[in-house]
Structure 1
Amino acid sequence: MSVSAQKVVVITGASQGIGAGLVDAYRKLGYAVVATSRGIAASEDPNVLTIQGDIADPATAERVIAAGLERFGRIDSLVNNAGIFVAKPFTEYTQEDYDAVTGVNLTGFFRITQLAIEQMLRQGGGHVVQITTSLVDHAYSAVPSVLASLTKGGLQSATKSLAIEYATRGVRSNAVALGIIKTPMHEEGFHETLAALHPMGRMGEIGDIVDAVVYLENAPFVTGEILHVDGGQNAGH
Protein backbone atom coordinates (compact mmCIF):
# COMPACT_ATOMS: atom_id res chain seq x y z
CA MET A 1 0.00 0.00 0.00
CA SER A 2 1.59 3.30 -1.01
CA VAL A 3 1.58 6.08 1.56
CA SER A 4 -0.67 8.25 -0.59
CA ALA A 5 -3.38 5.57 -0.69
CA GLN A 6 -3.27 4.72 3.02
CA LYS A 7 -5.88 6.53 5.08
CA VAL A 8 -4.69 8.61 8.03
CA VAL A 9 -6.41 9.36 11.36
CA VAL A 10 -5.46 11.95 13.98
CA ILE A 11 -6.30 10.96 17.58
CA THR A 12 -6.02 13.33 20.56
CA GLY A 13 -5.61 12.13 24.15
CA ALA A 14 -4.00 9.06 22.61
CA SER A 15 -1.55 7.83 25.26
CA GLN A 16 -3.82 5.70 27.47
CA GLY A 17 -7.34 4.40 28.00
CA ILE A 18 -9.79 5.03 25.16
CA GLY A 19 -7.20 6.94 23.12
CA ALA A 20 -4.71 4.07 23.15
CA GLY A 21 -7.52 1.66 22.27
CA LEU A 22 -8.43 3.85 19.30
CA VAL A 23 -4.82 3.87 18.05
CA ASP A 24 -4.82 0.06 18.02
CA ALA A 25 -8.24 -0.16 16.36
CA TYR A 26 -7.39 2.24 13.53
CA ARG A 27 -4.12 0.41 12.88
CA LYS A 28 -6.15 -2.82 12.54
CA LEU A 29 -8.32 -0.99 9.98
CA GLY A 30 -5.13 -0.25 8.04
CA TYR A 31 -4.92 3.46 8.86
CA ALA A 32 -1.73 5.34 9.62
CA VAL A 33 -2.14 7.17 12.94
CA VAL A 34 -1.04 10.58 14.18
CA ALA A 35 -1.34 10.24 17.96
CA THR A 36 -0.98 13.14 20.38
CA SER A 37 -1.15 13.77 24.11
CA ARG A 38 0.94 15.59 26.70
CA GLY A 39 3.09 12.61 27.67
CA ILE A 40 2.81 10.21 24.73
CA ALA A 41 5.85 8.01 24.11
CA ALA A 42 7.42 7.35 20.72
CA SER A 43 6.05 4.37 18.79
CA GLU A 44 8.09 1.62 17.16
CA ASP A 45 5.36 1.29 14.49
CA PRO A 46 6.41 3.32 11.42
CA ASN A 47 2.72 3.91 10.73
CA VAL A 48 2.17 5.61 14.11
CA LEU A 49 3.54 9.14 14.48
CA THR A 50 3.40 10.40 18.09
CA ILE A 51 3.54 14.08 18.99
CA GLN A 52 3.73 15.41 22.54
CA GLY A 53 1.83 18.56 23.36
CA ASP A 54 -0.99 20.19 25.29
CA ILE A 55 -4.00 20.28 22.96
CA ALA A 56 -5.32 23.31 24.89
CA ASP A 57 -2.53 25.25 23.13
CA PRO A 58 -3.50 25.95 19.49
CA ALA A 59 0.20 25.68 18.56
CA THR A 60 -0.02 21.97 19.39
CA ALA A 61 -2.83 21.55 16.85
CA GLU A 62 -0.73 23.31 14.21
CA ARG A 63 2.25 21.01 14.93
CA VAL A 64 0.14 17.83 14.92
CA ILE A 65 -1.56 18.49 11.59
CA ALA A 66 1.62 19.78 9.91
CA ALA A 67 3.63 16.74 11.08
CA GLY A 68 0.88 14.35 9.98
CA LEU A 69 0.79 15.87 6.50
CA GLU A 70 4.58 15.88 6.25
CA ARG A 71 4.85 12.20 7.22
CA PHE A 72 1.74 10.71 5.59
CA GLY A 73 0.54 13.31 3.07
CA ARG A 74 -3.15 13.32 4.00
CA ILE A 75 -5.70 13.35 6.85
CA ASP A 76 -8.91 11.38 6.52
CA SER A 77 -10.27 11.24 10.07
CA LEU A 78 -9.94 13.08 13.37
CA VAL A 79 -11.04 11.71 16.74
CA ASN A 80 -11.30 14.48 19.35
CA ASN A 81 -10.82 12.16 22.31
CA ALA A 82 -8.82 14.41 24.69
CA GLY A 83 -10.98 15.61 27.55
CA ILE A 84 -10.97 16.67 31.19
CA PHE A 85 -13.80 15.90 33.60
CA VAL A 86 -14.04 17.76 36.92
CA ALA A 87 -17.10 16.96 39.05
CA LYS A 88 -17.73 19.65 41.67
CA PRO A 89 -20.68 21.58 43.02
CA PHE A 90 -21.12 24.51 40.62
CA THR A 91 -20.18 27.23 43.12
CA GLU A 92 -16.96 25.42 44.04
CA TYR A 93 -15.42 25.46 40.56
CA THR A 94 -12.31 27.66 40.51
CA GLN A 95 -10.97 29.81 37.69
CA GLU A 96 -8.25 27.16 37.29
CA ASP A 97 -10.89 24.44 36.86
CA TYR A 98 -12.70 26.55 34.28
CA ASP A 99 -9.53 27.34 32.33
CA ALA A 100 -8.34 23.71 32.37
CA VAL A 101 -11.66 22.18 31.26
CA THR A 102 -12.54 24.75 28.60
CA GLY A 103 -8.90 24.70 27.40
CA VAL A 104 -8.83 20.99 26.62
CA ASN A 105 -12.50 20.32 25.85
CA LEU A 106 -13.26 23.39 23.71
CA THR A 107 -10.05 25.12 22.60
CA GLY A 108 -8.47 21.68 22.11
CA PHE A 109 -11.29 20.70 19.76
CA PHE A 110 -11.51 23.99 17.88
CA ARG A 111 -8.16 24.56 16.19
CA ILE A 112 -7.27 20.97 15.34
CA THR A 113 -10.74 20.43 13.85
CA GLN A 114 -10.42 23.57 11.71
CA LEU A 115 -7.07 22.42 10.35
CA ALA A 116 -8.20 18.82 9.80
CA ILE A 117 -11.37 19.84 7.97
CA GLU A 118 -9.43 22.27 5.74
CA GLN A 119 -7.28 19.32 4.64
CA MET A 120 -10.29 16.98 4.29
CA LEU A 121 -11.97 19.49 1.97
CA ARG A 122 -8.82 19.59 -0.18
CA GLN A 123 -8.99 15.79 -0.45
CA GLY A 124 -12.74 15.68 -1.09
CA GLY A 125 -13.92 14.19 2.20
CA GLY A 126 -13.26 13.02 5.74
CA HIS A 127 -14.74 12.23 9.14
CA VAL A 128 -14.61 13.96 12.53
CA VAL A 129 -15.68 12.28 15.80
CA GLN A 130 -16.10 13.99 19.18
CA ILE A 131 -16.05 12.02 22.45
CA THR A 132 -18.67 13.51 24.80
CA THR A 133 -20.69 12.42 27.85
CA SER A 134 -24.27 11.27 28.44
CA LEU A 135 -24.45 13.76 31.32
CA VAL A 136 -25.01 16.41 28.63
CA ASP A 137 -28.40 14.89 27.80
CA HIS A 138 -29.26 13.39 31.16
CA ALA A 139 -27.98 15.38 34.14
CA TYR A 140 -27.72 13.38 37.34
CA SER A 141 -27.91 14.85 40.85
CA ALA A 142 -25.24 12.48 42.19
CA VAL A 143 -22.68 13.76 39.66
CA PRO A 144 -22.50 17.59 39.65
CA SER A 145 -21.06 18.32 36.23
CA VAL A 146 -21.83 21.80 34.93
CA LEU A 147 -18.38 22.24 33.35
CA ALA A 148 -18.73 18.92 31.52
CA SER A 149 -22.17 19.89 30.28
CA LEU A 150 -20.99 23.37 29.25
CA THR A 151 -18.06 22.04 27.23
CA LYS A 152 -19.15 18.62 26.01
CA GLY A 153 -22.66 19.95 25.37
CA GLY A 154 -21.03 22.57 23.18
CA LEU A 155 -19.20 19.81 21.31
CA GLN A 156 -22.44 17.90 20.71
CA SER A 157 -24.06 21.00 19.23
CA ALA A 158 -20.94 21.69 17.16
CA THR A 159 -21.01 18.07 15.94
CA LYS A 160 -24.45 18.59 14.41
CA SER A 161 -23.55 22.02 13.06
CA LEU A 162 -20.43 20.67 11.32
CA ALA A 163 -22.43 17.75 9.92
CA ILE A 164 -24.89 20.11 8.25
CA GLU A 165 -22.32 22.66 7.10
CA TYR A 166 -20.28 20.00 5.27
CA ALA A 167 -22.98 17.43 4.40
CA THR A 168 -22.67 18.09 0.66
CA ARG A 169 -18.87 18.31 0.71
CA GLY A 170 -17.96 14.82 1.86
CA VAL A 171 -17.03 15.60 5.48
CA ARG A 172 -19.04 13.74 8.14
CA SER A 173 -19.23 14.72 11.82
CA ASN A 174 -20.43 12.46 14.64
CA ALA A 175 -20.07 12.05 18.41
CA VAL A 176 -19.96 9.20 20.91
CA ALA A 177 -21.54 10.10 24.26
CA LEU A 178 -20.09 7.98 27.03
CA GLY A 179 -21.28 6.59 30.27
CA ILE A 180 -18.53 5.93 32.80
CA ILE A 181 -15.82 3.74 31.28
CA LYS A 182 -13.21 1.58 33.02
CA THR A 183 -10.06 3.59 32.31
CA PRO A 184 -7.00 4.52 34.40
CA MET A 185 -8.93 7.70 35.33
CA HIS A 186 -11.18 5.78 37.78
CA GLU A 187 -9.69 4.05 40.82
CA GLU A 188 -10.88 0.46 41.32
CA GLY A 189 -12.23 1.24 44.76
CA PHE A 190 -14.96 3.38 43.13
CA HIS A 191 -15.93 0.92 40.38
CA GLU A 192 -18.92 -0.53 42.24
CA THR A 193 -20.38 2.92 42.95
CA LEU A 194 -19.78 4.04 39.36
CA ALA A 195 -21.31 0.84 37.95
CA ALA A 196 -24.51 1.57 39.89
CA LEU A 197 -24.96 4.89 38.05
CA HIS A 198 -25.83 2.95 34.87
CA PRO A 199 -29.23 1.29 34.35
CA MET A 200 -27.37 -1.82 33.13
CA GLY A 201 -25.52 -1.94 36.46
CA ARG A 202 -21.98 -1.99 35.07
CA MET A 203 -19.33 0.38 33.79
CA GLY A 204 -18.47 0.45 30.12
CA GLU A 205 -15.30 -1.08 28.72
CA ILE A 206 -12.78 0.72 26.50
CA GLY A 207 -13.72 -1.71 23.72
CA ASP A 208 -17.36 -0.54 23.85
CA ILE A 209 -16.28 2.98 22.90
CA VAL A 210 -13.70 1.89 20.34
CA ASP A 211 -16.33 -0.28 18.62
CA ALA A 212 -18.70 2.70 18.47
CA VAL A 213 -16.09 4.94 16.83
CA VAL A 214 -15.18 2.21 14.33
CA TYR A 215 -18.88 1.78 13.49
CA LEU A 216 -19.19 5.51 12.77
CA GLU A 217 -15.98 5.43 10.73
CA ASN A 218 -17.49 2.74 8.49
CA ALA A 219 -20.99 4.26 8.21
CA PRO A 220 -20.97 6.57 5.16
CA PHE A 221 -24.66 7.56 5.49
CA VAL A 222 -24.36 8.53 9.18
CA THR A 223 -23.58 12.16 10.05
CA GLY A 224 -24.73 14.49 12.82
CA GLU A 225 -25.28 11.47 15.07
CA ILE A 226 -24.76 11.47 18.86
CA LEU A 227 -24.26 7.77 19.58
CA HIS A 228 -24.87 6.99 23.26
CA VAL A 229 -22.71 4.20 24.64
CA ASP A 230 -23.72 4.52 28.25
CA GLY A 231 -25.51 1.43 29.60
CA GLY A 232 -28.86 3.16 29.17
CA GLN A 233 -28.10 6.37 31.09
CA ASN A 234 -29.40 8.60 28.33
CA ALA A 235 -32.80 6.85 28.39
CA GLY A 236 -33.39 7.53 32.08
CA HIS A 237 -33.00 6.19 35.59
Structure 2
Amino acid sequence: MNNKHRGVAVVTGAAGGIGLATAKALQSAGYRVFGTSRKAATGSPPGITMLSCDVTDADSVASMVSQVISQAGRIDLLVNNAGNALIAGAEESSVEQAKTLFDVNVFGLIRVTNEVLPIMRRQGGGRIVNISSVVGFVPSPFSALYTSTKHAVEGYSESLDHEVRPFGIRVLLVEPAFTRTALDHNATKPDRMMSVYDQARATATAVWNRAIETGDAPEVVGQAVVTAATATSPKLRYPASKQARRLYLLRRFVPAHAFDKSLRKQMNLPS
Protein backbone atom coordinates (compact mmCIF):
# COMPACT_ATOMS: atom_id res chain seq x y z
CA MET A 1 0.00 0.00 0.00
CA ASN A 2 1.15 3.54 -0.53
CA ASN A 3 1.68 5.80 2.45
CA LYS A 4 -1.65 7.59 1.97
CA HIS A 5 -3.81 4.47 2.05
CA ARG A 6 -2.34 1.89 4.39
CA GLY A 7 -5.71 0.77 5.70
CA VAL A 8 -7.94 0.97 8.76
CA ALA A 9 -6.47 0.69 12.27
CA VAL A 10 -8.12 0.25 15.66
CA VAL A 11 -6.18 1.18 18.81
CA THR A 12 -7.67 0.30 22.20
CA GLY A 13 -6.93 2.39 25.25
CA ALA A 14 -6.19 5.45 23.13
CA ALA A 15 -7.34 8.21 25.49
CA GLY A 16 -3.74 8.99 26.47
CA GLY A 17 -0.22 7.68 26.95
CA ILE A 18 1.02 4.93 24.66
CA GLY A 19 -2.40 4.43 23.06
CA LEU A 20 -2.80 8.05 22.01
CA ALA A 21 0.81 8.29 20.82
CA THR A 22 0.28 5.11 18.78
CA ALA A 23 -2.96 6.37 17.26
CA LYS A 24 -1.25 9.62 16.20
CA ALA A 25 1.77 7.76 14.78
CA LEU A 26 -0.45 5.46 12.72
CA GLN A 27 -2.50 8.39 11.46
CA SER A 28 0.71 10.12 10.37
CA ALA A 29 1.79 6.89 8.65
CA GLY A 30 -1.35 6.90 6.51
CA TYR A 31 -3.86 4.79 8.41
CA ARG A 32 -7.46 5.71 9.01
CA VAL A 33 -7.45 5.40 12.81
CA PHE A 34 -10.18 4.55 15.28
CA GLY A 35 -9.18 4.90 18.92
CA THR A 36 -11.13 3.57 21.86
CA SER A 37 -11.51 4.56 25.49
CA ARG A 38 -13.54 3.06 28.31
CA LYS A 39 -15.35 6.35 28.95
CA ALA A 40 -16.97 8.31 26.16
CA ALA A 41 -14.41 10.71 24.72
CA THR A 42 -15.27 14.41 24.86
CA GLY A 43 -13.28 15.10 21.70
CA SER A 44 -11.11 13.34 19.15
CA PRO A 45 -7.56 14.28 18.14
CA PRO A 46 -7.37 15.52 14.55
CA GLY A 47 -7.70 12.65 12.08
CA ILE A 48 -8.61 10.07 14.75
CA THR A 49 -12.14 8.83 15.43
CA MET A 50 -12.68 8.00 19.10
CA LEU A 51 -15.21 5.35 20.11
CA SER A 52 -16.34 4.11 23.51
CA CYS A 53 -15.29 0.56 24.39
CA ASP A 54 -14.98 -1.34 27.65
CA VAL A 55 -12.79 -4.34 26.82
CA THR A 56 -14.20 -6.23 29.82
CA ASP A 57 -17.69 -6.14 28.27
CA ALA A 58 -18.29 -8.41 25.25
CA ASP A 59 -21.29 -6.36 24.08
CA SER A 60 -19.26 -3.14 24.25
CA VAL A 61 -16.47 -4.73 22.21
CA ALA A 62 -18.92 -6.04 19.60
CA SER A 63 -20.59 -2.63 19.34
CA MET A 64 -17.26 -0.86 18.84
CA VAL A 65 -16.15 -3.25 16.10
CA SER A 66 -19.55 -2.96 14.42
CA GLN A 67 -19.22 0.84 14.39
CA VAL A 68 -15.79 0.62 12.76
CA ILE A 69 -17.08 -1.74 10.06
CA SER A 70 -20.13 0.46 9.51
CA GLN A 71 -17.96 3.54 9.01
CA ALA A 72 -14.88 2.08 7.31
CA GLY A 73 -15.89 -1.33 5.97
CA ARG A 74 -12.78 -3.19 7.15
CA ILE A 75 -10.09 -3.51 9.82
CA ASP A 76 -6.51 -4.00 8.63
CA LEU A 77 -4.70 -3.43 11.92
CA LEU A 78 -5.67 -3.98 15.53
CA VAL A 79 -3.47 -2.61 18.31
CA ASN A 80 -4.42 -4.08 21.69
CA ASN A 81 -3.16 -1.50 24.16
CA ALA A 82 -5.85 -1.16 26.86
CA GLY A 83 -4.55 -2.24 30.25
CA ASN A 84 -4.15 -1.56 33.96
CA ALA A 85 -1.20 -1.84 36.36
CA LEU A 86 -0.87 -3.06 39.94
CA ILE A 87 2.13 -2.45 42.23
CA ALA A 88 1.98 -4.61 45.33
CA GLY A 89 3.24 -7.78 46.88
CA ALA A 90 1.48 -10.69 45.19
CA GLU A 91 0.10 -11.81 48.54
CA GLU A 92 -1.51 -8.40 49.03
CA SER A 93 -4.08 -8.96 46.28
CA SER A 94 -7.06 -11.24 46.57
CA VAL A 95 -7.85 -13.72 43.82
CA GLU A 96 -10.79 -11.50 42.89
CA GLN A 97 -8.47 -8.53 42.36
CA ALA A 98 -6.18 -10.72 40.27
CA LYS A 99 -9.18 -11.76 38.16
CA THR A 100 -10.10 -8.11 37.61
CA LEU A 101 -6.60 -7.29 36.39
CA PHE A 102 -6.54 -10.30 34.07
CA ASP A 103 -10.00 -9.36 32.78
CA VAL A 104 -8.59 -6.14 31.34
CA ASN A 105 -5.02 -7.03 30.41
CA VAL A 106 -5.56 -10.55 29.06
CA PHE A 107 -9.21 -11.43 28.56
CA GLY A 108 -9.99 -7.93 27.28
CA LEU A 109 -7.30 -8.35 24.66
CA ILE A 110 -8.74 -11.76 23.76
CA ARG A 111 -12.29 -10.36 23.48
CA VAL A 112 -11.26 -7.70 20.99
CA THR A 113 -9.05 -10.11 19.04
CA ASN A 114 -11.83 -12.69 18.78
CA GLU A 115 -14.20 -10.03 17.45
CA VAL A 116 -11.73 -8.84 14.81
CA LEU A 117 -10.26 -12.15 13.59
CA PRO A 118 -13.33 -13.22 11.54
CA ILE A 119 -13.23 -9.86 9.76
CA MET A 120 -9.55 -10.26 8.92
CA ARG A 121 -10.11 -13.82 7.69
CA ARG A 122 -12.86 -12.63 5.34
CA GLN A 123 -10.54 -9.91 4.08
CA GLY A 124 -7.76 -12.41 3.48
CA GLY A 125 -5.32 -10.77 5.86
CA GLY A 126 -4.57 -8.33 8.64
CA ARG A 127 -2.18 -7.61 11.44
CA ILE A 128 -2.64 -7.61 15.21
CA VAL A 129 -0.09 -5.84 17.40
CA ASN A 130 -0.32 -6.56 21.12
CA ILE A 131 1.31 -4.12 23.52
CA SER A 132 3.27 -6.25 25.96
CA SER A 133 6.19 -5.06 28.11
CA VAL A 134 9.72 -5.98 29.05
CA VAL A 135 8.09 -7.55 32.11
CA GLY A 136 6.60 -10.02 29.68
CA PHE A 137 10.00 -11.73 29.63
CA VAL A 138 11.67 -10.62 32.90
CA PRO A 139 10.47 -10.87 36.51
CA SER A 140 9.31 -7.75 38.31
CA PRO A 141 9.09 -7.98 42.11
CA PHE A 142 6.07 -6.22 43.61
CA SER A 143 4.21 -6.29 40.32
CA ALA A 144 3.89 -10.08 40.08
CA LEU A 145 0.26 -10.03 38.96
CA TYR A 146 0.79 -7.31 36.35
CA THR A 147 3.91 -9.14 35.16
CA SER A 148 1.99 -12.40 34.88
CA THR A 149 -0.61 -10.73 32.65
CA LYS A 150 2.15 -9.65 30.28
CA HIS A 151 3.69 -13.14 30.32
CA ALA A 152 0.24 -14.42 29.39
CA VAL A 153 -0.03 -11.93 26.52
CA GLU A 154 3.36 -13.08 25.22
CA GLY A 155 2.42 -16.77 25.25
CA TYR A 156 -1.01 -16.11 23.74
CA SER A 157 0.37 -13.88 20.98
CA GLU A 158 3.20 -16.19 19.94
CA SER A 159 0.89 -19.21 19.82
CA LEU A 160 -1.94 -17.39 18.02
CA ASP A 161 0.49 -16.06 15.43
CA HIS A 162 1.21 -19.63 14.30
CA GLU A 163 -2.49 -20.45 14.13
CA VAL A 164 -3.57 -17.53 11.91
CA ARG A 165 -0.66 -17.23 9.49
CA PRO A 166 -2.44 -19.47 6.94
CA PHE A 167 -5.12 -16.76 6.70
CA GLY A 168 -2.63 -14.00 5.94
CA ILE A 169 -2.83 -12.65 9.49
CA ARG A 170 0.16 -11.94 11.75
CA VAL A 171 0.12 -11.40 15.52
CA LEU A 172 3.08 -9.37 16.79
CA LEU A 173 4.36 -8.05 20.11
CA VAL A 174 5.66 -4.58 20.92
CA GLU A 175 7.55 -4.57 24.22
CA PRO A 176 8.04 -1.16 25.86
CA ALA A 177 10.47 -0.60 28.69
CA PHE A 178 9.63 2.04 31.31
CA THR A 179 7.65 4.73 29.51
CA ARG A 180 6.66 8.22 30.62
CA THR A 181 2.94 7.67 31.13
CA ALA A 182 0.49 7.90 34.03
CA LEU A 183 0.59 4.12 34.48
CA ASP A 184 2.10 4.34 37.96
CA HIS A 185 -0.35 7.03 39.12
CA ASN A 186 -3.33 5.13 37.72
CA ALA A 187 -2.19 1.77 39.06
CA THR A 188 -4.66 -0.20 41.14
CA LYS A 189 -3.92 -0.40 44.87
CA PRO A 190 -3.81 -3.80 46.57
CA ASP A 191 -7.08 -4.74 48.25
CA ARG A 192 -5.50 -6.30 51.34
CA MET A 193 -2.32 -4.39 52.16
CA MET A 194 0.00 -6.09 54.65
CA SER A 195 2.36 -4.15 56.87
CA VAL A 196 5.06 -6.80 56.46
CA TYR A 197 5.51 -5.56 52.86
CA ASP A 198 5.28 -1.82 53.53
CA GLN A 199 8.99 -1.04 53.28
CA ALA A 200 9.73 -3.28 50.29
CA ARG A 201 6.59 -2.11 48.46
CA ALA A 202 7.53 1.53 49.02
CA THR A 203 11.04 0.85 47.73
CA ALA A 204 9.71 -0.91 44.63
CA THR A 205 7.23 1.90 43.99
CA ALA A 206 10.02 4.46 44.22
CA VAL A 207 12.12 2.46 41.73
CA TRP A 208 9.15 2.31 39.33
CA ASN A 209 8.46 6.04 39.68
CA ARG A 210 12.08 7.03 39.03
CA ALA A 211 12.31 4.70 36.04
CA ILE A 212 9.08 6.05 34.55
CA GLU A 213 10.13 9.68 35.07
CA THR A 214 13.34 9.05 33.10
CA GLY A 215 11.83 6.50 30.72
CA ASP A 216 11.04 6.55 27.04
CA ALA A 217 8.50 8.93 25.55
CA PRO A 218 5.22 7.27 24.51
CA GLU A 219 6.03 8.30 20.94
CA VAL A 220 8.94 5.83 20.96
CA VAL A 221 6.44 3.02 21.47
CA GLY A 222 4.12 4.48 18.85
CA GLN A 223 6.90 4.38 16.27
CA ALA A 224 7.68 0.77 17.20
CA VAL A 225 4.04 -0.09 16.52
CA VAL A 226 4.25 1.58 13.09
CA THR A 227 7.37 -0.46 12.34
CA ALA A 228 5.64 -3.69 13.36
CA ALA A 229 2.49 -2.79 11.46
CA THR A 230 4.22 -1.94 8.20
CA ALA A 231 7.15 -4.37 8.10
CA THR A 232 7.23 -6.42 4.90
CA SER A 233 8.69 -9.41 6.72
CA PRO A 234 7.56 -8.88 10.32
CA LYS A 235 9.30 -10.27 13.37
CA LEU A 236 7.33 -11.64 16.29
CA ARG A 237 8.84 -9.28 18.89
CA TYR A 238 9.64 -5.59 18.72
CA PRO A 239 11.42 -4.30 21.84
CA ALA A 240 10.38 -0.67 21.66
CA SER A 241 13.61 1.13 22.57
CA LYS A 242 17.33 0.74 23.21
CA GLN A 243 16.59 0.04 26.86
CA ALA A 244 14.07 -2.66 25.96
CA ARG A 245 16.44 -4.26 23.43
CA ARG A 246 19.25 -4.26 26.00
CA LEU A 247 17.04 -6.02 28.55
CA TYR A 248 15.93 -8.55 25.95
CA LEU A 249 19.53 -9.44 25.13
CA LEU A 250 20.54 -9.57 28.80
CA ARG A 251 17.66 -11.92 29.58
CA ARG A 252 18.64 -14.23 26.72
CA PHE A 253 22.38 -14.37 27.21
CA VAL A 254 23.28 -13.52 30.83
CA PRO A 255 23.40 -16.56 33.17
CA ALA A 256 20.32 -16.84 35.35
CA HIS A 257 22.13 -16.38 38.66
CA ALA A 258 23.88 -13.23 37.41
CA PHE A 259 20.63 -11.79 36.05
CA ASP A 260 18.91 -12.56 39.37
CA LYS A 261 21.64 -10.78 41.34
CA SER A 262 21.54 -7.73 39.07
CA LEU A 263 17.76 -7.52 39.24
CA ARG A 264 17.73 -7.54 43.04
CA LYS A 265 20.37 -4.81 43.11
CA GLN A 266 18.35 -2.66 40.68
CA MET A 267 15.23 -3.11 42.81
CA ASN A 268 17.11 -2.37 46.07
CA LEU A 269 16.23 -5.81 47.42
CA PRO A 270 18.51 -7.65 49.88
CA SER A 271 20.78 -10.18 48.21
Question: If the TM-score is normalised by the length of the shorter chain, which range does it land in?
Answer: 0.7 to 0.9
- Write the distance in 2 (CA, Å) between the matches of 1:44 and 1:195: 28
> Cα distance, 1:43 vs. partner?
2.2
Letter aligned with residue 121 of structure 1: R
2:172 aligned to 167, 171, 174, which one?
Answer: 174
Aligned to 1:233: 247
Contact 1:131–1:177 (8 Å) recurs in 2: yes
SS in 1 for 2:166: helix
Letter aligned with residue 213 of structure 1: V
In the alignment, structure 1 residue 212 sits paired with structure 2 residue 224: yes
- Root-mean-square deviation (CA), in Å? 2.5
Q: Could you state the TM-score of these two structures normalised by the residue count of structure 2?
A: 0.75
Q: Report which of the two structures shows the higher radius of gyration computed on alpha carbons.
A: 2
> Cα distance, 1:220 vs. partner?
2.5
Gap change, CA 1:44 and 1:157, over 3 Å in 2 = closer
In the alignment, structure 1 residue 137 sits paired with structure 2 residue 137: yes
Identity %: 26
SS in 2 for 1:233: helix
Aligned to 1:11: 11
Letter aligned with residue 135 of structure 1: V
Letter aligned with residue 233 of structure 1: L
Residues 146-179 of structure 1 show CA distances to partners (whole Å, capped at 9, x for unaligned) of 2123221111111111211122221011011221
- Write the distance in 2 (CA, Å) between the matches of 1:67 and 1:43: 16
Gap change, CA 1:98 and 1:217, over 3 Å in 2 = same
Contact 2:77–2:127 (8 Å) recurs in 1: yes
Letter aligned with residue 151 of structure 2: G
Contact 2:85–2:183 (8 Å) recurs in 1: no
> Cα distance, 1:44 vs. partner?
6.7
In the alignment, structure 1 residue 203 sits paired with structure 2 residue 215: yes
- Write the distance in 1 (CA, Å) between the matches of 2:155 and 2:117: 17
2:182 aligned to 172, 181, 184, which one?
Answer: 184
Structure 1 spans left out of the alignment, 5+ residues: none
In the alignment, structure 1 residue 63 sits paired with structure 2 residue 77: no
Runs of 4+ in 1 over 6 A off after TM superposition: none
Residues 96-147 of structure 1 show CA distances to partners (whole Å, capped at 9, x for unaligned) of 421321111112111210121111111111000111121221113xx32221
How many positions carry a matched residue from both structures? 225
Contact 1:80–1:109 (8 Å) recurs in 2: yes
In the alignment, structure 1 residue 94 sits paired with structure 2 residue 105: no
- Write the distance in 2 (CA, Å) between the matches of 1:94 and 1:107: 18
> Cα distance, 1:37 vs. partner?
1.1
- Write the distance in 1 (CA, Å) between the matches of 2:174 and 2:220: 11
Aligned to 1:43: 44
Gap change, CA 1:126 and 1:181, over 3 Å in 2 = same
- Write the distance in 2 (CA, Å) between the matches of 1:197 and 1:101: 22
Letter aligned with residue 42 of structure 2: A
Gap change, CA 1:122 and 1:48, over 3 Å in 2 = same
- Write the distance in 2 (CA, Å) between the matches of 1:6 and 1:128: 14
SS in 1 for 2:102: helix
> Cα distance, 1:195 vs. partner?
7.5
Higher helix share: 2
SS in 2 for 1:85: coil
Kindly report which structure 2 residues correspond to 1:73-92, keeping only aligned pairs within 5 A, or say none: 73-92=73-92
Aligned to 2:197: none
